[in-house]
Amino acid sequence: MSRHSKVRYTSNRRCSLEPLESRCLLSAVTCGVSPHLCIDAASLVGSAAPTATVAADSGPTISKVGVSEAKGTISWNVYDAAGVKGTSLKIDGKIVTDVSGPYKAASGVNYIAKFGVLSAGSHTYTIRASDKSGVVSTLTGTFTLAGPTISDVIVTPSKGMISWNVYDAAGVKATSLKVDGKIVTHVSGPFGAASGVNYAAKFGTLSAGSHTYTIRATDSSGVVSTLTGTFTVGS
């Protein structure tokens, strides 16, 4: 091939030679020096350079959150095709350190944590998980703990006594009493009852007038309930 000629590719992909002075004006194909480089010119005119689309990493999927008040635990599942690197848990904004796992699951891996002492009522959890690519997902939700039921409070001012009942399906771990904000140390019980257990306490001599009691009870899972009320001591 002459050094003063170049290859022109026609629309039927056949190459022909033309003098260097000639210009390759066919719109169907571009000119090149090798038949392996034949590219449709129409695909280049007014078109941006070709780009590759890469699917975004959406991060791990956190699911199957379960709370057991009886055991004082919260569990969850994490799945990621790239593999799960780690996870963490916060309850009511505070980090929970007692997290166990990962454990094998039908899909992904499972984790479980003990949430410790919490009051009865609504609480918020925040679960964070990262995959091996460093992508992080977060799941936030709420759960409610019933806690022990404190009831049947009876105050006998003449004897300086107060009694109450505590019931919890998981079992009652402990109870305490404050009168006018001061802890009462003479608490007796538990005693058998038709439902739950009974306690009694001696609060001693109090001045005439209105007084406040605060009874606190903890179940075997660490969930705490509080009941506050008032009573009157006569003159």
Per the listing, tokens 């980090």 go with 95
* 0.85 surpassed by pTM: no
Which segments in the chain show pLDDT lower than 50? 1-44
Kindly list the structural domains of the chain, giving each domain's residue range(s) and its CATH number in brackets, ordered by start: 5-43 (no CATH), 61-145 (2.60.40.1220), 149-233 (2.60.40.1220)
Per the listing, tokens 């890469």 go with 54
Q: 6: how many CB neighbours lie within 10 A of its CB?
A: 17
Give the pLDDT confidence score for residue 27 in this predicted structure. 38
Give the pLDDT confidence score for residue 221 in this predicted structure. 87
